[in-house]
Chain A
């Protein structure tokens, strides 16, 4: 039974890879013909999934390498960490045109260019926080474990496999989950877009939803949403839950606690095929590598002097080359920016202000309803049991998928683009807030609740003395995620091609999108820079401070 399930799973994966491969290497078709029939949905879902899976694997490899490099050398960390911080705050969607055009040019006549472009874009949405998490884990390895590994002369390979990767595993799993959930947002956005006069459309769930909304086909919209939710739920059940249950063994604790369960994992563990595959293929391979590396490390240690010098010189050369390249890029960027007149800069400042107001209004609106609702759900166990999974699903539906549908309804109801932009940001952000507030409210210790009942705190005091301080750290986490999402969303929310026309409202996101459309490189560069700058500044001045406050004063000590 277990073996049959495993076999079926492998078959399914193979099929998805084969059909995607056929598309990838087919001739270039910028505008795929998207069928509106629900029958086509499984295939579209498979296309989308393959894209996100490849992007995720790339991001994981990148994150591991980046984290290791930053953790192993203090000098490298001085460059790599701030760089990561900046990369994290650059709006991914402003890369879209550049990356797509470059990739299409790189593989002329083949669909693979377009596909790789979308993979690369999703990658940029996934990689940074996984890298951050891995770096932080490496730095947090307990001293004595590190000493044991050093004293017993673990090779770099053994150290990675038996200490670093296991220790970082839990953080990697959770960040991967969050990243992939965020990745859908970009996946949907880059499956269908317009660059100037050129139309691009990749077969997938995102393009299906957009085409359906464009045509006002309610039946197709409903089917598309069902497929989207099904994919997300299946991914959760078949991938994340088993992975979380499996990663429980990497929990760094000395006492045994209740472990998360997953029926899929139990199934896999019972499978005879997998067990024998491990015994006969994986284990011998692992053994060969480990021993080869162990012997090599011994040899290398004997003659360590010479290569050390050489490595130093190579390092210096690479560093110098990187510096030259960087200086050249900075020069080019500056000379591009120099083309901007003062009027354009003034306009950009106004746009930035408008979007800033919109983003924060969306956050405030989201918090206004999500905090009371979240506290109510979180403190009422009966409701929480039903509501929490629903909220989880709602939160995982990418806002980009909903946008065309939302526009359709707003236009029918007679609303303008300004309301639509705010609404999209709200949709994208409110769930993060709600989700975190529920978690915070559920974590309020019973003894504190009892104390406030015994002292008969009036409602007002209950909120100011107990509830708000207790959920504060969670609320901050929710708001930070929401804020990042809202800025990114502004790029499509303020400027959108819909039903054959361009709908837009003034703002920084619209500035980026319209500059993209018209190929106005100086404005695109300047607007992207301004947005990154705002995000970094707000992070540094507001969010980081609130985080510190949350970690010190509002931490519930156990």
Chain B
């Protein structure tokens, strides 16, 4: 690293913003065209600027399109519309010079299991034609920086998860990327290891031991985002769109226990559980973009959260134990559930009318209390009523089956129905959840070998 870049990095880190964005996504959009000409939107037009000197965290519920956005920004996936600018020049994916100099760290580590630690880290340099000796020198230097001395000749399978991800970091950093992309980098690790690695990353970044000028991290872990990021973008799902975009001015290091920290986490919980209402920004933040406000995209087909019916009953029982109303952030802490695991359950309870959510608190309804108190048969009956009252997909499925003389339809029928609204992958997931719910409620039976739904006998 030359002296000038070091100075430049120093100013960037202090001011937080320094003129031009390194990488910019303009009206990035991802959709799939249907054979009949309709389109299924996965990511609606989105603007993202990655500014030098910032750690930018992209938060959102699972399956909301965070990773798709990351892949469009890195050039791994072509946007359906819009463009990606690298230092103001459009990337078209073909001309070599405009390919962004970025590194990426994956959730699954994505190391080559047949290469040693050293060979894994050397591979990106090899691709750039760096001679063997130089490669070795640079790889050793970066391995030293991430604390992997002595593991050069080990194979990835000999390493623990944390060590593997260190190799992942070393491989991403060895090419001295301007932007370091991370796709849920700590999600596959246990809590303690993840915490250690986050601390080490911040140390490298704030100590300016790496020449990286910006970090873009995708995560579903709210506390992780608040701990690391200078700026947070919260996505709403179906289709993915920016719900909020703000800077966190809370100084580093940040304590999880401090009041402003908790306020921030709480705030993000509120945004995630009630994406369609406006929430005041907490202190220690400042907005960066015009807030999208409460304007909604065109109403879409209801999306079922992928939750097992049994999980819903368990959640209700716990909520009753807590007096019927509880702060979701606190609840997730006590249950040791990450937001990503808890929020879909809350969403399902909301859809079914079992709970209401306000200001990040969940409150159980009258029906919810009945479910929590009931035995298995009572729960099933209540669940069945709730489905028929609030879930259009299951209403449709039940009435379609009733309309048939033999009360039976192939799964394909419902598949085609949903395929008009969701991508292929999401359609399958929606169906799986719908079948699981419908079976539990004894609305219908499903034969997985014949792929047929049949009305349940009363």
Binding site for B on A (CB under 8 A): 142, 144-145, 147-148, 150-155, 158, 162-163, 166, 169, 249-256, 287, 290-291, 294-295, 298, 300-302, 304-305, 549, 552-553
Q: Determine whether the beta carbon of A153 is less than 8 Å from that of B99.
A: yes
Identify the stretch in B155-163, B346-354, B364-372, B427-435 within 8 Å (CB) of chain A at 4 or more residues: B155-163
Nearest-CB distance from A471 to chain B (Å)?
Answer: 19
Which residues of B71-126 have CB atoms within 8 Å of chain A's CB atoms? 71, 74-76, 94-97, 99, 102-104, 106-110, 112-115, 123-124, 126
B142 to chain A, nearest CB (A): 14
A144-B106, A254-B157, A305-B94 provided; 13 other pairs, C-beta below 8 A? A152-B124, A152-B171, A153-B124, A154-B127, A155-B127, A162-B115, A254-B156, A291-B129, A294-B129, A298-B128, A301-B94, A301-B96, A302-B97
Q: Which residues of A contact B96 (CB under 8 A)?
A: 298, 300-302, 304
B157 and A158 contacting across the interface, CB-CB below 8 Å: no
A2: shortest Cβ distance to chain B, in Å?
21
- Contacts A147-B76, A249-B114, A287-B132 given; does A302 touch B95 at CB 8 Å: yes
- Which of A151, A256, A294, A301 has most B Cβ within 10 Å? A151
B272 interface contact, C-beta 8 A: no
Selected A-B contacts with CB under 8 Å, 17 pairs: A142-B110, A147-B110, A148-B104, A151-B74, A151-B104, A152-B124, A153-B128, A155-B127, A158-B127, A162-B123, A163-B112, A249-B114, A256-B158, A291-B126, A301-B96, A302-B97, A305-B94
A294 proximity list for chain B (CB < 8 A): 126-129
Decide if B192 is an interface residue (CB 8 Å cutoff). no
Most B CB contacts (10 A, CB to CB) among A254, A290, A291 go to A254
CB contact under 8 A between A249 and B126, given known A144-B106, A144-B110, A163-B112? no
For B127, the chain A residues whose CB sits under 8 A away are: 152-155, 158, 294
In the complex, A162→B122 CA distance in Å?
A: 12
A152 touches B175 (CB 8 A): yes
Nearest Cβ distance between residue B424 and chain A, in whole angstroms? 15
* Chain B residues, Cβ within 8 Å of A300: 96
The secondary structure that dominates the B interface is loop
Partner among B107, B126, B448 whose Cβ is within 8 Å of the Cβ of A290: B126
Find chain A residues with CB under 8 A from B71 CB. Answer: 147
Shortest distance from the beta carbon of A361 to any chain B beta carbon, whole Å = 30
B94 pairs with A252, CB closer than 8 A: no
Instruction: Give the chain A neighbours of B113 by CB distance below 8 A.
Output: 249-254
B132 contact set on A, CB distance < 8 A: 287
Chain B contacts to A: CB under 8 angstroms: 71, 74-76, 94-97, 99, 102-104, 106-110, 112-115, 123-124, 126-129, 131-132, 155-158, 164, 171, 175, 448-449
On chain B, the residues within 8 Å of A252 by CB distance are 113
In the complex, what residues of B have CB within 8 A of residue A155's CB?
Answer: 127
B100 to chain A, nearest CB (A): 9
What is the distance, in angstroms, from B119's C-beta to the closest C-beta of chain A? 8
Q: Considering the chains assembled together, what is the distance between the CA atoms of A153 and B76 in angstroms?
A: 11
Contacts of A298 in B (CB 8 A): 96, 128-129
Does B157 contact A152, Cβ atoms closer than 8 Å?
Answer: no
What residues of chain B lie closer than 8 Å to A162, measured between beta carbons? 112, 115, 123
- Given the complex, which residues of A lie within 8 Å of B95, measured CB to CB? 301-302, 304
Question: Residue on A with the closest CB to B156?
Answer: A254
In the bound complex, what is the Cα–Cα distance between A553 and B450 (angstroms)?
A: 11
Using Cβ atoms and an 8 Å threshold, which residues of chain A touch B102? 151
Q: Which of B76, B97, B449 contacts A151 (CB 8 A)?
A: B76
Assembly CA distance A251 to B113 (angstroms):
8
User: In the assembly, what is the distance between CA of A256 and CA of B159, in Å?
Assistant: 9
Identify the closest chain B residue to A296 (Cβ).
Answer: B129
Within the assembled complex, what's the spacing in Å between the Cα atoms of A302 and B99? 11
Cα A162 to Cα B155 with chains together (Å): 14
Partner of B76, one of A150, A255, A553: A150
Minimal beta-carbon separation of A57 from chain B (angstroms): 23
Residues of chain A within 8 A (CB-CB) of B109 are 254
A283 nearest in chain B by CB position: B132
Q: How far is the CA of A529 from the CA of B171 in the complex (A)?
A: 54
Tell whether A144 pairs with B108 under 8 Å between CB atoms, given A287-B132, A302-B97: yes
Q: How far is the CA of A553 from the CA of B451 in the complex (A)?
A: 13
Chain A: CB-nearest residue to B114 = A166
How far in angstroms is the closest Cβ of chain B from A258? 13
Q: A153-B127, A302-B96 are in contact. Are A145 and B112 (CB under 8 A)?
A: yes
A142 with B129, Cβ < 8 A, contacts A162-B115, A301-B95 known:
no
- Complex interface: chain A residues within 8 A of B106 (CB): 144, 147-148
Pairs of residues from A and B, 10 with the lowest C-beta to C-beta distance, nearest first: A301-B96, A294-B129, A152-B124, A144-B110, A166-B114, A144-B106, A295-B129, A148-B110, A154-B127, A250-B114
User: What residues of B have a CB within 8 angstroms of the CB of A255 in the complex?
Assistant: 157
For residue B155, which residues in chain A have a CB less than 8 angstroms away from its CB?
249
Known: A154-B127, A294-B128, A302-B96. A552 touches B449 (CB 8 A): yes
Contact partners of B104 in chain A: CB under 8 A: 147-148, 151
The closest CB in chain B to the CB of A248 belongs to B114
Q: Which residues of chain B come closer than 8 Å to A142, judged between CB atoms?
A: 108, 110
CB contacts (< 8 Å) of A163 on chain B: these are 112
A154 to B94, CA, bound (A): 14
Give A169 to B71 CA distance when docked, in angstroms.
29
Of the listed residues A148, A251, A287, A301, the one surrounded by the most CB atoms of chain B closer than 10 A to its CB is A148
Q: How far is the CB of B361 from chain A (nearest CB, A)?
A: 38
Measured CA separation A145–B120 after assembly (Å): 12
A402 to chain B, nearest CB (A): 41
**Chain B residue with the shortest CB-CB distance to A257:** B157
Across the interface, name the chain B residue whose C-beta is closest to A148: B110
Measured CA separation A417–B197 after assembly (Å): 75
Shortest C-beta distance, B114 to chain A (Å), equals 4
> Which residues of chain B are near A305, meaning CB under 8 Å?
94
Report the Cα distance A155→B448, complex, angstroms.
Answer: 44
Query: Within 8 Å CB of B112, what residues of A?
Result: 145, 162-163, 166
Judge whether B110 and A145 touch: CB under 8 Å. yes
Give the distance to chain B from A35, nearest Cβ to Cβ, in Å.
47
A252 to chain B, nearest CB (A): 6
Contacts of B157 in A (CB 8 A): 253-256
B123/A152 in contact, CB under 8 A:
yes
Query: In whole Å, how far is A549's beta carbon from the nearest beta carbon of chain B?
Result: 8
Nearest chain B CB to A24's CB is how many angstroms away?
Answer: 37
Nearest-CB residue, chain A, relative to B125: A152
Give Cα A300 to B131, complex, Å: 20
Question: What's the nearest-Cβ distance from chain A to residue B143, in Å?
Answer: 17
Which B residues are in CB contact (< 8 Å) with A290?
126
Shortest B381–chain A CB gap in Å is: 32
Chain B residues near A304: list those with CB within 8 A.
94-96
Determine the distance from Cα of A427 to Cα of B286 in the docked complex, in whole angstroms. 80
Whether B110 and A154, one on each chain, are in contact in the complex, defined by CB atoms closer than 8 angstroms, is no
Q: How many Å from the CB of A293 to the closest CB on chain B?
A: 8
Alpha-carbon gap, A147 to B171, bound state (A): 13
How far does the alpha carbon of A250 sit from the alpha carbon of B113 in the complex, in Å?
A: 7
Instruction: Select from chain A the residue with minimum beta-carbon distance to B105.
Output: A148
Residues in chain A near residue B156, CB distance under 8 A:
254
Q: Which residues of B contact A302 (CB under 8 A)?
A: 95-97
Instruction: Give Cα distance in the complex from A142 to B175, angstroms.
Output: 23
Which residues on the A side are within 8 Å of B448 (C-beta)?
A: 552
Measured between alpha carbons, how far is A282 from B95 in the docked complex, in Å?
33
Q: What residues of A have a CB within 8 angstroms of the CB of B171 in the complex?
A: 148, 152
A42 CB to closest chain B CB, in angstroms?
38
Chain B's closest residue to A165 (CB) is B114
Query: Which residues of chain B are within 8 angstroms of A158 by Cβ–Cβ distance?
Result: 123, 126-127
- Cα–Cα distance between A301 and B102 once the two chains are bound (Å): 17
Q: From known contacts A145-B112, A302-B95, infer whether A553 and B123 are also in contact, taking CB-CB under 8 Å.
A: no
Q: Which residues of B contact A150 (CB under 8 A)?
A: 76
A181 to chain B, nearest CB (A): 26
